[in-house]
């Protein structure tokens, strides 16, 4: 059974070197094991070998029996930099990811990153990533320095993405109100999931999803709370006129077309998502090599699912292969 890990993260070494050499919002230090430590506003990321050494990562996949990964950059992306710097770093990251896919296509494919704090440049980089570099889509963050993904400044981007039938994968980043989430790692444990939920609901209610039907939307971390709250969003549609202003049918009818990765290793939560969206719309994900992620738990949780072999094969890798034409 082919296993494709849709949710994992990679830092190109060239990007880390560029951060060390330039003036950035990130400060780079090193821990006792000589791992780069990236200090961004309100957060740190320890860049372990699996984050930055593609040979180490490939060996880990072989050892565990994961056949392919959809490698992506990680939050907060380049958008914490100035727009000009964001564009340059996004281009650097995408060039590096494309090179890995070209050289190691048996193990890796990828989604591009965008300099979303420059909406016009994001349209150009989407075009370059998909038409020149061969990406099937992009990973975006759940807000852009506090600006909602549903904001109309991004509609030209979505129009082009719809024309290209792009995958747009929503990964969370610092939520609005992050100052209330600085203890106990509440930002990634709770805030990330809330921000994904908020971004998705806004994209649907604003009419963005309906207006650009060619986009294939994917949500990280099992959609945050979307499968759990979808019925409440439908009640809002019927109860409040503003919730019907921009859409022609209840939110659930759009949300069932989204894809959901399995970075929630509770089989009961996974069952809820499957019951909501169907086995055809669930994608295996590990969050490797973040400290909170696990390839082993990804595989184990999916093996525990009470589904038939056909549906398990879809979730393990078939759906990702179909979505990305692997």
Q: How confident is the model at residue 27 (pLDDT cuts 50, 70, 90)?
A: confident
The percentage of residues in the chain with a pLDDT greater than 70, rounded to a whole number, is 99
Q: pTM of the prediction?
A: 0.96
- Is the pLDDT reported for residue 42 higher than 70? no
Rounded CA-CA distance 95/102 in Å is 10
At residue 219, what are phi and psi to the nearest 5 degrees? -115, 135
CATH top class, domain 4-323: alpha beta
pLDDT in tens, 279-315: 999 999 999 999 999 999 999 999 999 999 999 999 9
pLDDT score recorded for residue 203:
98
pLDDT tens per residue across span 181-239 = 888 989 899 999 999 999 999 999 999 999 999 999 999 999 999 999 999 999 999 99
pLDDT value of position 41:
64
Q: Where are the domains of the chain?
A: 4-323
Question: pLDDT digit string (tens) for 102-151?
Answer: 999 999 999 999 999 999 999 999 999 999 999 999 999 999 999 999 99
Instruction: Say whether 272 sits in a helix, a strand or coil.
Output: helix
Closest CA to 220 of 86, 61, 53, 72: 72
Q: Quick check: 50 pLDDT over 80? A: yes
SS3 for 6? strand
């Amino acid at each position: 059974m082919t296993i494709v890990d849709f949710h994992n993260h990679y830092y190109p070494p060239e990007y880390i070197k560029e951060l060390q050499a330039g003036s950035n919002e990130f400060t780079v230090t090193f821990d006792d094991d000589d791992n780069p430590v990236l200090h961004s506003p309100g957060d740190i990321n320890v860049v372990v070998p699996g984050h930055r050494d593609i040979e180490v990562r490939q060996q880990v996949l072989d050892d565990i029996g994961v056949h392919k990964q959809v490698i992506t950059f990680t939050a907060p992306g380049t958008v914490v930099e100035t727009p000009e710097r964001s564009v340059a770093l996004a281009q650097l990251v995408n060039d590096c990811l494309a090179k890995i896919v070209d050289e190691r296509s048996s193990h890796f494919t990828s989604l591009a990153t965008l300099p979303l704090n420059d909406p016009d440049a994001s349209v150009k980089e989407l075009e370059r990533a998909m038409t020149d570099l061969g990406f099937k889509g992009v990973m975006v963050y759940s807000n852009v320095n506090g600006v909602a993904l549903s904001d109309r400044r991004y509609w030209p981007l979505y129009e082009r993405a719809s024309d290209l039938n792009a995958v747009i994968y929503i990964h969370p980043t610092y939520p609005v109100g992050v100052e209330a989430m600085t203890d106990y790692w509440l930002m990634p444990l709770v805030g990330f999931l809330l921000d994904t939920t908020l971004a998705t609901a806004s994209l649907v209610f604003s009419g963005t999803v309906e207006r650009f039907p060619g986009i294939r939307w994917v949500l990280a971390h099992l959609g945050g709370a979307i499968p759990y709250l979808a019925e409440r969003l439908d009640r809002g549609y019927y109860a409040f006129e503003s919730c019907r202003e921009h859409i022609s049918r209840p939110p659930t009818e759009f949300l069932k077309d989204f894809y959901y990765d399995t970075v929630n290793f509770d089989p009961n939560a996974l069952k809820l998502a499957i019951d909501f969206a169907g086995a055809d719309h669930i994608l295996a994900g590990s969050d490797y090599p973040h400290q909170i992620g696990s390839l082993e738990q990804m595989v184990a949780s999916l093996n525990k699912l009470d589904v038939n072999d056909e549906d398990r094969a879809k979730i393990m890798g078939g759906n990702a292969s179909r979505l990305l034409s692997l």
